[in-house]
């Protein structure tokens, strides 16, 4: 068979799945809303379970729930039958996935949950299945056409089950006001964490700031800039930033000015700055665009009012951004 034929087959499979996945809208009914409320108000953990392909989907949904603030873990029903049922607490909720709904390995787990009045959200394509009959909230996902040659291999059915899980998590985030700030809390590392870092998280503050009084002479300014090792000084008047001076400014200025001259004669007025709750990635973009290595930080209020003079909350140096992996 020619390679082009395989491309046609792949496109056909994609077309089948794309068409079948539209059926997911039938799933979003009053039981879906009940599931959102039950999960959102859970006092324990969301325990996701499933066997085989459904188990893989349960793992993924559990991971997503935990990452957006709904504590969750995956429990293998087969392992649960040999002692792990003790991990389930009365405050927990079981979120069980099974496309057929009649997977034998689920039976003991369902009986245990029913016995101890542990709430079950069942997700299956079979309304009269063992799973949905045992569930407090029954979610019926549509029966779909598989995209493989036999029509029997779990392909579209796994896609629609996973799609349901993602839609459930997305709706929970909207309903319970999930924000970037909370997402950052659960993702301190990796590329996601880096992209969510704010200026406030990475700026230099306090004693690390190279603050120079506007009446200071050039010699004193040099000492402060050298001590802070940022190659820049923030010129201050009444606790407000009125300008900046770099070591380059001083080198160029000393050709015509004495070291006893006031530093405000060399400074750059109206320094560029960014607000503290801007993304660190945005700050790096500004620095690259302006071809600068340092950027002052002001409060959101001062930034919004576009103040000429402002209280410097911190300073960003390009080395700090690179250290955090921001690119």
CA dist 144 and 128 (Å) reads 17
Strand 93-97 versus strand 119-124 pairing type? parallel
CA dist 110 and 8 (Å) reads 43
Residue 66: pLDDT over 80: yes
Q: Which residue has the higher pLDDT, 200 or 253?
A: 200
CA dist 142 and 233 (Å) reads 65
- Fold match, 3-178 / 199-323: no
Q: How many Cα atoms sit within 13 Å of 184 on the Cβ side?
A: 11
Q: What is the mean pLDDT of residues 183-204?
A: 67
Residue 78: pLDDT over 90: no
* 306 Rama class: left (phi>0) / alpha (psi -120 to 50) / beta: left
Residue 188: pLDDT over 60: no
Q: Which residue has the higher pLDDT, 189 or 90?
A: 90
Q: What pLDDT, on a 0 to 100 scale, did the predictor assign at position 325?
A: 72
Residue 16: pLDDT over 80: yes
- 120 within 8 A of 133, measured Cβ to Cβ: no
Q: What is the fold, at CATH topology level, of the domain defined by 3-178?
A: Rossmann fold (3.40.50)
Computed over every residue of the chain, the mean pLDDT equals 88
DSSP string, 210-222: -EEETT-BHHHHH
Residue 7: pLDDT over 70: yes
Q: Across-strand partners of 279?
A: 198
Q: What pLDDT, on a 0 to 100 scale, did the predictor assign at position 181?
A: 59
Share of the chain above pLDDT 70, in %: 91
- 96 within 8 A of 120, measured Cβ to Cβ: yes
Torsion angle of alpha carbons 193, 196, 202, 206, nearest 10°? -120
Cα 94 to Cα 80, 119, 172, distances in angstroms: 13, 6, 16
Q: What pLDDT, on a 0 to 100 scale, did the predictor assign at position 201?
A: 85
Going by pLDDT thresholds of 50, 70 and 90, the confidence category of residue 82 is confident
Q: Which residue has the higher pLDDT, 86 or 20?
A: 20
Q: What pLDDT, on a 0 to 100 scale, did the predictor assign at position 124?
A: 97
Residue 3: pLDDT over 60: yes
Q: What pLDDT, on a 0 to 100 scale, did the predictor assign at position 280?
A: 86
3-state secondary structure of 192: helix
Q: What pLDDT, on a 0 to 100 scale, did the predictor assign at position 111?
A: 92
Residue 194: pLDDT over 70: no
Q: What pLDDT, on a 0 to 100 scale, did the predictor assign at position 257?
A: 62
pLDDT in tens, 277-286: 988 888 988 9
CA dist 39 and 32 (Å) reads 11
Torsion angle of alpha carbons 11, 14, 18, 23, nearest 10°? 130
Q: What is the fold, at CATH topology level, of the domain defined by 199-323?
A: CBS-domain (3.10.580)
Q: What pLDDT, on a 0 to 100 scale, did the predictor assign at position 193?
A: 57
Q: What pLDDT, on a 0 to 100 scale, did the predictor assign at position 182?
A: 57
Q: What pLDDT, on a 0 to 100 scale, did the predictor assign at position 186?
A: 52
Residues of 129-156 as b/e, b for ≥16 C-beta within 10 angstroms? bbbbebbbbbbbbbebebbeeeeeeebb
Going by pLDDT thresholds of 50, 70 and 90, the confidence category of residue 315 is very high
**Chain-centre distance for alpha carbon 282:** 17
**Chain-centre distance for alpha carbon 213:** 41
**Cβ-based burial of 238 (10 A; exposed 0-12, middle 13-18, buried ≥19):** exposed
pLDDT in tens, 209-266: 999 999 998 888 889 999 988 989 999 999 999 999 988 888 776 666 666 678 888 8
CA dist 108 and 94 (Å) reads 13
- 27 within 8 A of 140, measured Cβ to Cβ: yes
Least confident of 9-18, 48-57, 248-257, 287-296: 248-257
User: In the chain, where are the structural domains located?
Assistant: 3-178, 199-323
Q: What pLDDT, on a 0 to 100 scale, did the predictor assign at position 281?
A: 85
Backbone Cα Rg of the chain: 30
Beta-sheet strand order (sheet of 314-317): 273-275, 294-298, 314-317
DSSP string, 247-271: HHHHHHHTTTS-TTSBGGGTPEES-
Q: Which residue has the higher pLDDT, 139 or 217?
A: 139
Work out the number of other CB atoms within 10 angstroms of the CB of residue 229: 9
Residue 155: pLDDT over 80: yes
């Amino acid at each position: 068979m020619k390679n082009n034929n395989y491309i046609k087959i792949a496109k056909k499979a994609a077309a089948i799945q794309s068409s079948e996945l539209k059926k997911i809208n039938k799933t979003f009914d009053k039981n879906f809303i009940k599931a959102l409320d039950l999960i959102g108000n859970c006092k324990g953990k969301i325990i996701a379970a499933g066997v085989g392909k459904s188990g893989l989907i349960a793992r993924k949904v559990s991971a997503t729930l935990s990452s957006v603030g709904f504590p969750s873990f995956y429990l293998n029903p087969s392992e649960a039958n040999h002692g792990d049922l003790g991990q389930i607490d009365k405050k927990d909720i079981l979120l069980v996935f099974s496309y057929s709904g009649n997977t034998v390995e689920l039976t003991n787990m369902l009986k245990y949950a029913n016995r101890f009045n542990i709430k079950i959200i069942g997700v299956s394509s079979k309304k009269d299945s063992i799973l949905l009959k045992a569930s407090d909230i029954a979610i019926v996902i549509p029966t779909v056409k598989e995209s493989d040659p036999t029509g029997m291999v779990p392909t579209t059915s796994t896609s629609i089950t996973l799609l349901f899980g993602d839609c459930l998590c997305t709706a929970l985030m909207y309903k319970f006001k999930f924000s970037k700030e909370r997402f950052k809390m659960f993702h301190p590392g990796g590329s996601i964490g880096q992209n969510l870092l704010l200026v406030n998280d990475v700026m230099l503050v306090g004693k690390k700031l190279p603050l120079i009084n506007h009446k200071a002479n050039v010699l004193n300014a040099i000492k402060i800039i050298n001590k802070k090792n940022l190659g820049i000084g923030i010129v201050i008047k009444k606790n407000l930033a009125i300008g900046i001076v770099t070591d380059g400014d001083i080198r160029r200025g000393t050709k015509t000015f004495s070291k006893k001259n006031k530093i405000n004669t060399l400074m750059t007025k109206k320094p560029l700055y960014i607000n503290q709750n801007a993304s660190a990635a945005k700050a790096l973009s500004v620095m690259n665009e302006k071809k600068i290595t340092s950027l002052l930080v002001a409060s959101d209020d001062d930034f919004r009012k576009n103040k000429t003079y402002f209280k410097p909350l911190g300073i960003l140096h390009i080395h700090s951004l690179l250290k955090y992996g921001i690119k």
